[in-house]
Each structure stands twice: as structure tokens, then as C-alpha cells.
Amino acid sequence: MQLIQYPAQQQWAALQQRAAAQQAQDVEQRVQQIFEAVRQRGDAALLEYAQRFDGADLASGLRVSPEELAAAVTQVPSELQTAIRQAHANIWKFHATQREEEKQVETMPGVSCWRRAVPVQRVGLYIPGGTAPLFSTLLMLGVPARLAGCPEVVLCTPPQPDGSVNPVILFTAHLLGIDTIIKAGGAQAIAALSGGTESVPGVDKIFGPGNRYVTAAKQLATRYGVAIDMPAGPSEVLVIADESANPVFVAADLLSQAEHGPDSQVILLSDSLTVLEQTQAEVQRQLAALPRAAVATQALTESRAILLRTPEEMLYFSNQYAPEHLILAVRNPEELAEGVTSAGSVFLGHLTPEAAGDYASGTNHTLPTNGYARNYSGVSLDSFFKKITFQRITAEGLLHVGPVVEIMAEAEGLQAHARAVTLRLDAIHSASSTPTASARPAAHS
């Protein structure tokens, strides 16, 4: 990690830059080619990409069979099954509290408005495989999808070279009641979900993290009328540590993000040079024992340890950076947390590791990266709903609100808008002055 002491604020923007691993234009062009191939050739293109990128010959087809799904349960150690079930319960409990009661509001006498949460009908979940199959992400996406009541859930995940899917991912899918599972990864999986193929149902919204190709593919999918959870790229964490911080804990937190991938980024801020130096030394000590040391080492080349003067200055830097994960390893974390305005998820105190949120505390770990925490939230139960507004207006209500609409519509020069109200008001006034209902003129629609 680079050590920078008391940088001037003019330097902060440069220090807050994420690593640019590859030219975005090149990535977008390659993803566009993959989209075109999948949209033109469907399953055939997916089978070809599975062979090329995953080294998998999917002779038995793209879909996971019921037999494969059932067999996965026997391949997952009971201890891990128990842990996954407990994480599932915690995530369910936290997300269940996010349900909103439908409330009807009378904005004027006779004018009623309300909003109803309707589940997204078809959702696609993308779960990376590769060197670290993220079954935990499947929990984070599958639990709120089920709580929301989404009728159709499609899971895409890369096949292993032997054509199988990681059994822990299959066990987790089985626990969630997901049985439409597609052996497809990368940009090609996103392309299939966005338009559908012979084996892959097209969906309305796509969720899930991935590398730069998956991220570019998700953004491209929006051009085809498919929504996405958020723009998300490589993992990142920012730690604010004062003199009370334990360098051993802080180093472990930094490495827990660095091991995600070579393009992950970790930032350490402190007002104590001693903490920075001791943490750097501890990072090197712990790094030597990590199985993914090579990956973490590469990530650390674009990571920084920065000495600043006060907790307030560190928080200001953090809010500008807008980290995916923010750890407040300080003496009074609740007090400092009051000033957080931009972060995906915040971890308070010395005994709250970011890894707990990644797996089992209950909060969602699918979070905005690359500074998008300035304007995006992490995945929640709301992410799987559409909010539809409803309204009902009685004759009394139209007498109240109608003149307001007429005046505003005429001021905007939209006479048809005004007339839609005027005709109804005329019908109401006419009906109220006519002694028999049979003589009432019909209101225009």
C-alpha cells in the first residue's frame, strides 16, 4: 500500500481514483459482439462461449437438471449447510422488516391516493463462479426475491470445466426454491437474460455482481428495456481508524476485500501514523499466509494508506470517495456515523468486521461501487418491487381538485388536459341541477 502523509485537498481527487484496469471502450465493444451473437444464435452461442471461456462441454444442455440439483445436497458438508441456513434466516429476518404497509391518503376531500408494491414478475440473478463461487451472493439476492414474491426467478452461473455447477451454489438455490438454473457466465449470461434464448427465459430485471465485462453487459442490457440493480464493479473498502484501532483487525479487514480480485481497492485513513505503519506491517504478515495472496498483492498495488489530521477530515474524504464498504474503527463510531452521507454499507466499531455483512449479519452485500454510493443504494427488498400509484376521485373530489387542474393545464397550453376535467365538471353540475337521474347527461371518458 502506498503511504501518503497529509495530502492537500487539491490532491484528494487523484487519491480517490479507482484503478482503470482496461480501456472501457474495448470492453464495451467486446460485450456488444457477445450480445449480438447471443441474440442471433441463442443457445448455440452460449454453448460455444461455455467451451471457449469456461472450458466446459455442455453436451447435456444449458439447464441444471433436477437430478443435479438433488445430488448437490449430498455434496455439501453438514457444517456448511447449517451455516448457510443460519445466514439465510438472518438475511430473511432483516429484509422482512423492509415491507411497507399500503397506505391510502386523502389529499383533498374526495381525492384518494395510494401506492402498491408489486413484485417484478421475472428476475434474473447472476452469480459469479470462477475462483470464488459466490453462493453468499445468491442468498443476498434470492432471499429478497422470494420475500417480494417474484413469480419467476432465473439463476445464471458459470459451469465448471466438467460441465457441472458448484454444489454449494446448487444447494443454496435449492434452499431458496430456485430450480431454473442456467449454466452460463460472463457477458453472455447477461445477454441471454436480457433477450432470452431457447433455454433461457428473458427477464425484466437483472441482479448480481461480476467483472468489468459483466458490468458493461448489465449496462448494455438497459438499452433493451431490461432494468438492473445498479452499476457495480470491483469490490472496495475504506477504513477510518483512530489511535484506538487494532492494526491486526484493520489489516484483516483490508485483506478481506483485497482477496476478492486483482482490481479490488482498499483505502485506509488514520490520524495516527503509528496505526498506519503498524497496519501496513500487519498486512504483509497476514498476506503471506493467504491462499489468494497473489490476487490480494495485485489489489494492494492500487491501494492507499493516508494520514489525515482529524476524524472530521477523514469522514469528509470518505464521503467524497463514497466507498462500497465503510468501516469505522474508531473510539466513538456511532458519533462519527452520524456524518456519513455516501457509503454502501457501514460497519461500526472494532468488533464489526466487513466480512460479517458479506455473509451472515443480515444486511445485503450487493452494494454500489466505483463511487455510485453517492446516488445508489444497495440491494434491498424494494429492489424487487415496482411501486404503482393508484387514485380515485369522487364527484366531491373533482369539484375540489378540478379547478386546480384546469388552471395549471391552461397555463401550460395543454387544452386537452383541461378539457378532460371541464367535461366532467360540467356533467357533475348538470346532474346536480337535474331532478331525475334519467335526465343526467353521460360524462365523457
Binding site as annotated, residues for substrate: 235, 257, 260, 325, 358, 412, 417
Which residue is it, cell 337535474?
434
Q: Which of 282, 324, 354, 365 is catalytic?
A: 324
Q: Is 100 a catalytic residue?
A: no
The reply to whether 429 belongs to the active site is no
Which residues carry a binding-site annotation?
126, 188, 211, 235, 257, 260, 325, 358, 412, 417
Show Cβ contacts of residue 249 under 8 Å, excluding neighbours closer than 6 positions. Answer: 329, 350, 353
Q: Provide the annotated binding site for NAD(+).
A: 126, 188, 211
Closest CA to 330 of 257, 243, 254, 236: 243
Cell of 20: 482503470
Taking residue 122's Cβ as centre, other Cβ atoms within 10 Å add up to 18
Sheet holding 385-393, edge to edge: 104-108, 111-119, 385-393
Q: Of 302, 325, 354, 365, which is the active-site residue?
A: 325
Category of 371 on φ-ψ map: left (φ > 0), alpha (ψ -120 to 50) or beta:
left
In the annotated binding site for Zn(2+), the residues are 257, 260, 358, 417
Report phi then psi at 163, rounded to 5: 90, 0
Instruction: Give me the active site residues, please.
Output: 324-325
